[in-house]
Structure formats: structure tokens, C-alpha cells
Chains A and B, each alone.
Chain A
């Protein structure tokens, strides 16, 4: 879908809350109110380190009541593509950062009769947003957070609040805990939310399924898919004779438009069929909801507003 523009943010505060965790408070650069958010929302930051660009999404741990600021917590991950290291080492109070408007791929259920939150490590961040919301409503909830012994004090501090025994911090491995037992005795209508490292989430979800939990009651955090991008490639427009470089953070349609060509388009979300374009060479990577499975397999047409190329080059009848 077409982008509404971005938010220009200034870092109001930046502090290390543990050796690996850094907390940032972000406000609008012009101090205007920021867009409202809901529990589970994330913010995708667009960071520039010289020539390198990072587009990393972080759960919003808190939004000020008057929408004056967002809070995120970033774990330093040395082996990653580098966004978290950049944030830790080079972003401090006063730094200006661009961000997409918030999105939400991990919303709370509106119909749940009870919310059961199971978190591991940095997976606490969306749950901090959940807690702020659940504490205000008369909602039934329980949080179990697993962390390393060294981080118990930090997480204990983050989780402080009057919860009447609903929030439990476990400085142990989840495998040392009777997860199956807890999941056998949750009242009908309980929804389970899990967030943390991949292996942790897989273990919790597998345990839940083995206890008969249906898909409708299982929710896990995933950042994939919403703001699509992909490997860069070259698109050749046969009729115009134009060669267009499509970067990883731009859709094929956007790149074509940036080159001055205006193909038909409408919904910009892969659903309406307006931008269907014939593929003359190369293999499309389909991400639309319009073409049939047979048409996808044949690879002779594609929706340029959302789909990309599988290889390095694709030739279109434009």
C-alpha cells in the first residue's frame, strides 16, 4: 500500500537499563502529538549509518497518555544485521530518526475472557504495552516472564505495578517450569500470547498444542510481512526501454513510478487486479491476492504493486 509518509522523531531520552538493554524515549521532532497506538503496536525505525540502512521494528513498550512520546527497549544483538548495535552505540538523546507510522501485528483479543501472557527475555516489550492496557480495564490476565538470573532485577523493575499476584517473574529456564500443567487448567475463553526468542516461542506453542489448545487461542509476535521489502533486483520495461533498479525497501510499482512511468494501479495492496502486468522474462515472486494458483505457477503475469522478482532481473511488458 502507498506510504502515508513517515514520522520524524527526536530521541528525548536514552539510557542503559542493563548491560544489554537500552531504553529510548522518542518524541515528535516538532513536539506535536504522535499517532495513537494500541497494545502490541510496533514502530519501524529507518536508521542510516553512512551508506548502510537499517529498517528495524521494535515493540512500543509504552505510549504517553497524551501521545507526546513512545518508549522502546532494544536488546543489543551482536550477530544481527547491525541495527541494534547501531542504536546502542550511535543513537542518544538529541538524535533525529525517521520512522514509519506505527503498525500492529500482535494485537490483544477483544473477546478473550482471560489473557495469559508468556514472555522470554526481550519478549517483554509488547507485554509492557499489554499490561498498561489490561491494568486499566477490568480484565482478567496473568503474565509469566522468563529471564536469566542476571536480568531478574531489571525485569522486576520493568514489571513493577499493583497487580495483585497476576505478574510472575521466573529467573529460570521455561523447561524447568510446569508449563503443561499451567496450560491444562486455563478457563475456556483464555487466549495465550507468547513473545520471545524463536526457540522459546516454539516450545511454548508446541506445549499448548499438545494440551489441546486450538489455533484461535494462540498468538505470537512476528514482524514479518507487514512492511514488505525484499532483495533488490532490476526491472526492464520492454516497451519504454527503461531499466529500473528496485531497491530492497521500495515496491516494484513505486520504483517504476519514481522512474517517471505511470502504470495503471488502484488499491496498491495486491487485491484489485488493476496493475496486472505481463512478465516477458524472469520469474515473479508473487505476494498478491488476485491471481489464481495456476496463474501464479504460470508466472506470465504479476501484480507490480506488491510482488517482486525471484532472481536479479525481470522483464515486463510496460
Chain B
């Protein structure tokens, strides 16, 4: 499989990020029905799903090189966006092992991992990286293992320590988040970290999710989708930089809406790590503009319905307030009320 990387894409300033036709069709559209509500929508993370984005443990697409460069930029400006508490070193090595082995297995033309006892050699061809190091010895890597490997992966990651029948977010690489702060949340328990999510607490979503995750088994990862909307294809919508990206929300007009308003989907994956017994939480972020999504007939109609009927509390939490109605108005003429197939798949093979 050959991926046409676009290394010069930008996620800030001039925002040159665009999706190819193929990227649009493999987009993990999050709506399988015409209305959206919270649920524990966890399913086994198996090599099967509505699009190619679901097939590998950690998905790589045409934006890989550009996203890694953007991550390096964020970290240069704010190194605190990657932070791991001291007791999580074993989990760091677990993460490095899992991601390296997954990439080498799933994308052998781009990555290779060879082992000679504890001496490992890792090659990342798209990023031009080749390193030989001793597994377990931090001094043999240019960064701590978690930072080292997550700098070479798309999406955010957190490390959760399991203790006292609870999970604690004790580490993370968080540069592509939809508005939560690692510096503030690090060390929090499961319910504390999720406190800002409205409604879900009252219907017990987090109680059940926690109980489920405490019993997560090695080699049986799970996944779920989350979504929100972002103005411009900006990956760094951190609370830290809200004064920088917040004003974008007031720049949307009916004329630029299709290019500016983006659906932001998180393909969240959860893996039990063997040596530390921690949980690795992957938050893989996908962006597509309303204009790009509207090229898929089923999606332009379904997106219209979901946004039109969204519960008001979710509008505030997902930050849609200023432009939701404008987006609904833009999509409405495309919606003929036709019955749409269940499930998120695009129902067309080309655009």
C-alpha cells in the first residue's frame, strides 16, 4: 500500500490542509443514525470496520508527515504538552513497544523493527528516522520512550494507571486535543477528568465505561468515536491557546462556511499494556470540512439532520454555538428527506 504523503500541509496560519478524495471516502464519519446522543459506544478494535481508518491498530494516512511536523512545532513552543508522571516509566516502554510493533507489522514498507536481545533498531522511513537503542534504558534514546514514539504517531495519547478500582490519567502527549488541558488534568481520576462533559454523568455513561475498562484485557483492544466541530483545519485547539484560536469562531460566514467549518472526529482506541498493566488511550483526530463531506450524498443529508436535532446542552459543550445554524442552513437544501441507510459508511465508492 502506498500512501501519498503531503509533508508541507499546515494546520495553522495559512491552513493548506486538504483531504484527497480517498481521504474523504475513508473518513470515519461518526453518525450511523440521523440523531446523536451519548452512549458507551465501545466495540472491539478489530481489523474490520466501515472504512480503512479502522483497519490498523494505529492508523496512518496521507497527513502523517505533516501532522508529525505540526506536533514538533507545538512541543517546541510548549514542551509541557507532553508530560508523564515519574511512576509511569514501565508504561512508557510498553507504549513504545506496542506502537513500534504495530507500525512495523501494519506498514512494513514504511517502518521496520529489528531486535537483537535488548538492542532494538527502529526505522521510520517517512520521517527519515533510524535509531538503535537498548529497550529499558532511557539513556539510549533521544527522548523518554513515550515522547519518542508518540512524536512519530498521529493523534494524542494518554497513559492511565489502574489502581484502587479506578483509572488515573498519569501521562499524555496532547497536542491535537479538542479543548482539554493535560497540565491541568494530569493525575485526575476517571470521573474527575471527565467532569466537564455535560449530561453523560447523569445517565451513568462514565460509571459503566470505567467498570468496563478496569477489566480490559491484553490483546483485546476496544475503540469508540467522539466528535466535535472546529473552525479551520486546526489541530491545536488547546485551552492553553484558546485566545489564539477562539476568535476563528467569529469569522464564519455563509460564503466561507463550507471551507472553514470542519467536522472533527476522534477515533479513540484503548489498549491494555502488559508490563505496567496501564491503559494506553489513543485519540486519533480526523478533520474534514463541511464542503468535503458534502461531496458524499448520504453524509450531507445525515449531517444536516444530526445538527438540526442536536440537544441544546451538547451545542454548548461542543462549541458549535456561533455557526451551528449557519451550517444547518447551508446543508438544508441538500436534504430531500430521503431515508438513509443505517451505519456511517458512505454508500459510494467515488466522489
A-B contact pairs, 25 of them (CB 8 A): A1-B215, A1-B217, A2-B220, A3-B220, A36-B97, A38-B274, A38-B276, A38-B277, A101-B220, A103-B217, A104-B274, A104-B277, A107-B162, A107-B277, A110-B87, A110-B88, A226-B215, A267-B43, A267-B212, A269-B42, A271-B209, A271-B211, A272-B41, A272-B212, A289-B208
Number of interface residues of B (CB under 8 A): 38
Is A66 interfacial (CB-CB < 8 Å)? Answer: yes
Question: What residues of chain A lie closer than 8 Å to B222, measured between beta carbons?
Answer: 267, 269
Q: Is the interface of A mostly helix, strand, loop or mixed?
A: loop
Question: What residues of chain B lie closer than 8 Å to A136, measured between beta carbons?
Answer: 136
Residues of B within 8 A of A (CB): 39-44, 87-88, 90-91, 94, 97, 115, 117-118, 136, 161-164, 170, 207-209, 211-212, 215, 217-220, 222, 273-278
Task: Please judge, given known A-B contacts A110-B278, A136-B136, A267-B222, whether A226 and B217 are in contact too, CB under 8 Å.
Answer: yes
Residues of A within 8 A of B (CB): 1-4, 35-41, 65-66, 101-104, 107-111, 133, 136, 216, 226, 266-273, 289-290
Question: What residues of chain A lie closer than 8 Å to B41, measured between beta carbons?
Answer: 266, 272
Task: Specify which of A35, A111, A273 is in contact with B219 (CB 8 Å cutoff).
Answer: A35
Task: Please judge, given known A-B contacts A1-B217, A2-B220, whether A111 and B161 are in contact too, CB under 8 Å.
Answer: yes
**Shortest distance from the beta carbon of B98 to any chain A beta carbon, whole Å:** 9
B87 touches A104 (CB 8 A): no
**Shortest distance from the beta carbon of B169 to any chain A beta carbon, whole Å:** 13
B118 touches A65 (CB 8 A): yes
Question: What residues of chain A lie closer than 8 Å to B40, measured between beta carbons?
Answer: 267, 271-273
Cα–Cα distance between A3 and B163 once the two chains are bound (Å): 25
Q: Which of A37, A109, A111 has the most CB of B within 10 A?
A: A111
Task: Specify which of B90, B164, B274 is in contact with A41 (CB 8 Å cutoff).
Answer: B274
Task: Specify which of A3, A40, A104, A110 is in contact with B90 (CB 8 Å cutoff).
Answer: A110
Question: What residues of chain B lie closer than 8 Å to A104, measured between beta carbons?
Answer: 218, 274, 277
Question: What residues of chain A lie closer than 8 Å to B273, measured between beta carbons?
Answer: 38
**Shortest distance from the beta carbon of A259 to any chain B beta carbon, whole Å:** 21
Total contacts A-B at CB 8 Å: 99
Question: What residues of chain B lie closer than 8 Å to A271, measured between beta carbons?
Answer: 40, 42, 208-209, 211-212
Question: What residues of chain A lie closer than 8 Å to B164, measured between beta carbons?
Answer: 216
B218 touches A65 (CB 8 A): no
Task: Specify which of B97, B117, B136 is in contact with A66 (CB 8 Å cutoff).
Answer: B117
Question: What residues of chain A lie closer than 8 Å to B136, measured between beta carbons?
Answer: 136
Task: Please judge, given known A-B contacts A2-B44, A66-B115, A273-B40, whether A289 and B220 are in contact too, CB under 8 Å.
Answer: no
**Shortest distance from the beta carbon of A108 to any chain B beta carbon, whole Å:** 8
Task: Please judge, given known A-B contacts A66-B117, A111-B87, whether A267 and B42 are in contact too, CB under 8 Å.
Answer: yes
B275 touches A38 (CB 8 A): yes
Cα–Cα distance between A110 and B97 once the two chains are bound (Å): 18
Task: Specify which of A39, A41, A101, A269 is in contact with B212 (CB 8 Å cutoff).
Answer: A269
Cα–Cα distance between A133 and B219 once the two chains are bound (Å): 21
Cα–Cα distance between A273 and B207 once the two chains are bound (Å): 13
A35 touches B218 (CB 8 A): yes
Cα–Cα distance between A35 and B271 once the two chains are bound (Å): 14
Question: What residues of chain A lie closer than 8 Å to B42, measured between beta carbons?
Answer: 266-267, 269, 271-272
Q: Which of A66, A107, A109, A267 has the most CB of B within 10 A?
A: A267
Task: Please judge, given known A-B contacts A38-B276, A38-B277, A102-B274, whether A109 and B219 are in contact too, CB under 8 Å.
Answer: no
